[in-house]
Structure formats: structure tokens, C-alpha cells
Amino acid sequence: MWVWETKLQPKGVVVMVHGAGEHHGRYHWLRKKWLDEGFHVVMGDLPGQGRSPKNRGHVDSFDEYIDAVKSWYECAEQFGLPILLLGHSLGGLSVIRTLEETAIHPDLVILSSPCLGLVVPPPEWVKRVLHPVNRFLPTIKVPIKRSGENILATRNEDVLKQDANDPLIVKRISVRWYFELDQAMKEATNRIHRFPNVPTIILQAGADRIVDKHAVYRWFRQLPVANKHYKEWKDFYHEVFNEPERETVFLFLTRRIKAFI
């Protein structure tokens, strides 16, 4: 876990949770924007990813992600300032499940293309075949496709070039990891009634090729929160904070959060 403190009079603390296969280092731009805006930033690498010492690409249970998010949040509490909890993709799902399973209560939740469904999930027959593997050989890993026009996460060529040479990006995931993800996506909806009444903003990529935007919107519609906002960015790929128009996204977000802090 890392903590960065703004040099300005602090307005609050942003706890950021990254997505699948990536790590905190990919958020340098966004971290700097928050610091320049007057927010401290707390962030870590999820278990099995980035510089985490755990088995890369593997978790025994999704609870490991919940425990990580909770620990980062508790670190942010020490500042005694408003807390913004921001999760992207898998990080968004981790934030949702943490809020459903723990007593933490941030001042604002921001979800960026949260992983509540996949555009191209594995066929059911594949899942049935892999069920015994998940039980007896859960750490067996399969490659992640991270390139190809149909599954690009961003249109930002600079980010794609950096990713191609990034040794910390996870390139293989375990069978157990996928089954835990699949179960967590189901529980995010099944336990939505446990989500606290916290202001929530969803920033969803309109041309997302990884996360099913329709599943995200269905979840949003069911969310029992008094103050919630859904913004879909037309033609954007999955990583809205990495897209060429990301300055516009951040400006939109900072204007929205002024109502909460």
C-alpha cells in the first residue's frame, strides 16, 4: 500500500482500487490529477497482482480483495477527511462487494466500468469442464488475451505501448481466480440490498469491449441509493481514465463531487 499527500490544503482522501491484471503504477496520471486537485491518495496492488507478494494471477477467495480494500480504506480514515472510494473494473466489483460485506461508509463511491458482467464470458460448457479443475487444481493458469482490436481496453496508443513493455501486468490467471470473479459478480447483484446509502457515481465506457455495459446499467437501476448518477461515455473503450478524452472525464467528475465534499 502507498500513500501520497497533496501539497495543497486537503479536501479529502481518494482510495483507488485498480482492475484485473494491472497495478497501481498504471494510475500515475490519475493520481497526479487528484493530488493537484487537493486530495491525498491511498492505493495498493490487489493480491496476486502488481508488486503483491501473493501468487500472481491467483486468489484462493474473492474475500482477499475485500480485505485489501478495507485495509486501504482504514488507512485513509486516519486523515480524518472525507473519503472517496474509487474502483475500476475488477476494482469496482471489489469496492461493491466490500461495501456489501463490511461496515465501511465512504462519503462518495466512484465506479469506473465496474466488472458486473463480461462482454464475452466463457461458454457454460467450458465452466462445467473446469469445475473439477477448480476444486482439485485451482492454481492452474490460463493466458489472458490483452491485445487484439476486439478486446482493447483503451484507444490511447501511449498507454498501449507502455502496457506492452510492463513486466508487472499479469498475463495468466488461475482457474480459481475466474470462478471467484464469476461468483462475486453474481453476489454483487444478489446482495445489492446490503449496499449502504452512499452517493454513487458510475462512469461507464459506451464502447466497452470487456465489461458488459448493459449488466452495469441493470445493476445501477436496482441500486437502493438515494443519490446516484450514471454517466455513459459514448465511443469510449473500457478504461475511461486512460482514454484520449480523459481530461474531460476528470473535469466532469470533479464538478460532480463538489456536491458531496
What is the DSSP track for the chain?
Answer: -EEE--SSPP-EEEEEE--TT--GGGGHHHHHHHHHHTEEEEE-PPTTSTT-SSPTT--S-THHHHHHHHHHHHHHHTT-S-EEEEEETHHHHHHHHHHHHS----SEEEEES--SSBSSPPPHHHHHHHHHHHHH-TT-EEEPP--SGGG-S-S-HHHHHHHHT-TTS--EEEHHHHHHHHHHHHHHHHTGGGS-S--EEEEEETT-SSB-HHHHHHHHHH---SSEEEEEETT--S-TTTSTTHHHHHHHHHHHHTTT-
Q: 114 burial class (0-12, 13-18, 19+ CB within 10 angstroms)?
A: buried
Closest CA to 101 of 200, 226, 195, 222: 195
Residues with a known catalytic role:
89, 208, 238
Q: 134 burial class (0-12, 13-18, 19+ CB within 10 angstroms)?
A: middle
